[in-house]
Structure 1
Amino acid sequence: MQAMTQLAHDFLKPILHSQAICVDGTLGRGRDTLFFIEQNVGRVFYYEIQSDLFEQFQNKLNQQIALKSQKVPHVIGYCHSHDRIEHDLSAYQGQIDAMIFNYGFDPKTLSGIATQANSSLRALEQSVRLLRKKGRIALVFYPHPEGQQEKEVLMDWLQEQTNLHVLEMRHPFKSNSPSLVCLEKISNE
């Protein structure tokens, strides 16, 4: 079975095209941003609050761009919280095609720096407003206490939204496995 991140990519892939505008709301090691770039989309924006991870990825990206002979999409990174997304991307209101967020912290990094429920909720609220009709957002939740608390807050908010289709994928018999929540915007309410 595929990892949740791969399932998230599979969910987003059908709506990606050469003019697509995509956002990685939680850069980490950059797998999701690189996925968008590999799909030859039009623009990619990414967010990372940790300056060391941000700089490492910037260097990696610059190296990869130098090696490629093909066209690379317009890529812009923000080294601050994703809860400023609507301010940063106000010119793209109702135009974003695809977004992805990985909540909590990546257990492989063990840095202890995790996304926070309040800022993640603000980012998700803003992201839904930025999303175009039929646009999609993939939310991956890691199974540790901070990630579970964050998931509860976001799921409570999502339950009240009438302009989104919501689907959750998780392993039914493993409480300590990641879960994926897939969102598709059905109206611009």
Structure 2
Amino acid sequence: MSEWETMARALMAERHPRLLARARMLVPSLAEAEDLVQDALIATFSKRRGFASLAQAEQYVRRAIVTTHLNAAKRGARERQRWASVGSADVVPDHAAEVAGEADVAGILHGLAPRVRACIVLRYLEDLSIADTARVLGLSDGAVKRYVSDGLRELNGRLGTQATVADVVVARVDVRPGGVA
């Protein structure tokens, strides 16, 4: 077995729950999170990259998860634009989740724009600094600050809270064997 294959297997055996937890914060379902991790692993190891350590490989895959998510969101937006330009029948939006009173933070988080969601997740759930978040996403510090501010405003509106950037406390994602808590 080659060196990159050994590293990929070790990464999946030892770090999969942490990778899945990160992906779960970006997409609405566990199945989509699993797909996102798989896509990031394929993107990372399909070019047979060599890594000096398991931690370095994990960091690369963690970045690939966010990048893969944002790229998919862009593709989805372009697809919606294409369909809109073609024209469609009147479609009634489904507001069942809102009517059911879904007020969980994860559900509301998934209602944010993909880039805003990525900034909120990296900044407050991954505890990255503004500069680190900007570096991971390829944005300026000012853009990250704006996305975080917009995201908090949106979350406050949906949750009925009044938190500011200074009030937000970093929440660590708890990863347990057998799943994400």
> Could you tell me the TM-score, scaled by structure 1's length?
0.26
Structure number having the greater helix percentage: 2
> Could you tell me the TM-score, scaled by structure 2's length?
0.27
Structure number having the greater strand percentage: 1
Larger Rg: 2
